[in-house]
């Protein structure tokens, strides 16, 4: 784990997003609150909050940070047939909360999958990304489209050479 003992305590904030593509049948069932396991959006929000709080337990070498606030929004985008998750995490600390925000968004997305898999396994979790971070030495902000969903290059990378992992 990185030694942060010499760093000063500052206000930290990070936002992360995940998108879960669910198709027309599951979209309709979530909209009508007819998924057998219950209210998908509310349970995904709660799971995301729980995930943020447990980040240091599941990510090796991640600092255990006392969080000030975790807000997870899970919204059904009916036209796009997906659930968009936005997690915002805040703390007063010596290190950032990006991992907590990314974990919150990821756990919420996995919860949507878990709750809907009885209907269909044709569910795709994509676009897990850091949206913004502040506090500490560096700031980061991804350009926003409409304030919730983002416009970015979704095309696969065109690799000139085949990819080989470092470890086989």
**Tokens matching residue 49:** 């909050």
Which stretches of 7-163 are DSSP H helices? 23-31, 40-53, 55-58, 98-116
- The residues pairing with 20 across neighbouring beta strands, listed in sequence order, are 83, 125
Among the listed residues 39, 57, 71, 114, the single catalytic one is 114
**Tokens matching residue 23:** 């198709």
The CA distance from 29 to 76, in Å, is 11
**Listing from the earlier edge strand, what are the strands of the sheet with 10-21?**
67-77, 82-93, 10-21, 124-134, 140-141
Q: Is 122 a catalytic residue?
A: no
User: Among 17, 12, 4, which Cα is nearest to 148's?
Assistant: 17
Which stretches of 6-97 are DSSP H helices? 23-31, 40-53, 55-58
List active site positions. 114
């Amino acid at each position: 784990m990185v030694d942060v003992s010499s760093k000063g305590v500052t206000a930290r904030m990070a936002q992360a997003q995940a998108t879960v593509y669910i198709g027309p049948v599951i979209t309709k069932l979530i909209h009508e609150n007819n998924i057998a396991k219950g209210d998908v959006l509310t349970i995904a929000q709660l799971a995301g909050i729980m995930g943020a709080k447990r980040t240091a337990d599941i990510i090796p070498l991640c600092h255990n940070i006392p969080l000030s606030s975790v807000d997870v929004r899970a919204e059904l985008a009916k036209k796009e047939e997906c659930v968009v998750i936005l997690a915002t995490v805040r703390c007063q600390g010596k290190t950032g909360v990006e991992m907590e925000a990314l974990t919150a968004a990821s756990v919420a997305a996995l919860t949507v999958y878990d709750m809907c898999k009885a209907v269909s396994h044709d569910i795709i979790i994509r676009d897990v990304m850091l949206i913004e971070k502040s506090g500490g030495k560096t700031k980061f902000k991804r350009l926003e489209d409409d304030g919730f969903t983002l416009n970015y290059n979704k095309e696969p990378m065109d690799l000139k050479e085949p990819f080989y992992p470092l470890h086989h």
